[in-house]
């Protein structure tokens, strides 16, 4: 590849999307945090010392979506029409799914991914005391399988 979209003559640049068509866009991302069964149960029962894990993670996800341009270099600041954050608590995991919608000139995949990862990082922060072993390590806690599961682009 001879040309890069974000680098020109050794200078980093943001891609110009000014000539792109304004369209309705959406993206759905998901990810999972592996936890001990006791931790998953405590999250489900809202019995975590730091407070309501899922409510806090939902707020974190929405904030992250709205500020993705601030977290990722060269990411455009875009209008966000809507954010939906859902959680599933299983026997040994907490899964987050974030859907982002926008009417604009560039996609919302990064926003959805940023929302999912921030939600899961917040879950980790809120349950870390329960996940530590006797040596202060996290043998079972892991953020896994973060990915975009759907992307839609339609005429506005």
pLDDT in tens, 94-133: 999 999 999 998 889 999 999 999 999 999 999 999 999 9
Asked if residue 105 belongs to a domain, the reply is: yes
* Residue numbers annotated as active site: 125
53 torsion bin: left (phi>0), alpha (psi -120 to 50), beta (else): alpha
Asked if residue 100 belongs to a domain, the reply is: yes
- Reference 39, options 145, 134, 132; nearest CA is 132
What residues pair up with 99 in beta bridges, in sequence order? Answer: 28, 84
Asked if residue 14 belongs to a domain, the reply is: no
Q: What CATH number corresponds to the domain at position 75?
A: 3.30.70.640
The total domain count for the chain is 1
For residues 28 and 130, give the distance between their C-alpha atoms in angstroms, rounded to a whole number: 30
Asked if residue 11 belongs to a domain, the reply is: no
- Reference 18, options 65, 92, 76, 58; nearest CA is 76
Sign of the four-CA dihedral 44, 45, 46, 48: negative
Whether the CB-CB separation of 154 and 102 falls below 8 Å is answered with: no
Span 72-97, mean pLDDT? 96
Asked if residue 10 belongs to a domain, the reply is: no
Asked if residue 13 belongs to a domain, the reply is: no
Span 137-143, mean pLDDT? 97
CA distances from 5 to 23, 27, 103, 106, 143 (A): 21, 22, 23, 14, 30
Which residues are CB-neighbours of 151 under 8 A, at least 6 positions away?
A: 25, 26, 27, 28, 107, 109
Tokens of 20: 């792109």
- Residue-wise pLDDT for 26-55, tens only, equals 999 999 999 999 999 999 999 999 999 999
Instruction: State which residues form the domain around 76.
Output: 22-155
């Amino acid at each position: 590849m001879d040309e890069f979209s974000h680098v020109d003559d050794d200078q980093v640049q943001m891609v110009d999307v000014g000539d792109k068509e304004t369209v309705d866009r959406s993206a759905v991302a998901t990810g999972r945090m592996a936890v001990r069964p006791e931790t998953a149960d405590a999250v489900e029962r809202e019995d975590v010392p730091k407070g309501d894990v899922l409510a806090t993670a939902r707020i974190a996800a929405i904030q992250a979506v709205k500020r993705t341009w601030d977290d990722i270099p060269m990411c455009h600041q875009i209008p966000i029409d809507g954010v939906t954050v859902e959680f599933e608590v299983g026997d040994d995991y907490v899964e987050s799914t974030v859907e982002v919608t926008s009417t604009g000139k560039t996609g919302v995949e990064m926003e959805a991914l940023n929302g999912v990862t921030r939600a899961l990082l917040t879950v980790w922060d809120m349950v870390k005391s329960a996940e530590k072993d006797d040596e202060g390590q996290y043998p079972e806690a892991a953020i896994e399988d973060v990915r975009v599961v759907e992307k839609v682009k339609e005429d506005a």
